[in-house]
């Protein structure tokens, strides 16, 4: 199949309805269609994960913030949505 995702990170993020919800932050692969990518990803994971693990939101980002050792900065992702 076609590779749609370069990098992704799912975290618990603040949510007005659920208090916290699984949120996916995705760096699209070159050539991926940004308009349809969130729906395609959500449909795919619904087939493979329990309902409570399916992201409530998918945010496309240019890159995932990392520290000097390469670890993804989850707090920066959360704070960037405020």
Q: Say what the pTM is.
A: 0.82
Instruction: Please give the pLDDT value at position 46.
Output: 94
Instruction: For residue range 65-80, list pLDDT tens digits in order.
Output: 999 999 999 999 888 7
Instruction: For residue range 5-53, list pLDDT tens digits in order.
Output: 887 888 888 888 878 889 999 999 888 889 999 999 999 999 999 999 9
Q: Which residues does 71 contact at the CB level (< 8 Å), separation at least 6? A: none
In whole angstroms, how large is the CA radius of gyration of the chain?
13
């Amino acid at each position: 199949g076609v590779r749609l995702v370069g990098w992704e990170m799912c975290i618990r993020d603040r949510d007005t309805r659920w208090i916290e919800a699984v949120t996916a932050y995705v760096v699209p692969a070159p050539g991926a269609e940004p308009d349809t990518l969130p729906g395609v990803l959500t449909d795919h994971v619904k087939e493979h994960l329990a309902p409570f693990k399916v992201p409530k939101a998918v945010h496309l980002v240019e890159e995932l913030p990392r520290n000097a050792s390469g670890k993804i900065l989850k707090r920066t992702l959360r704070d960037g949505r405020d």
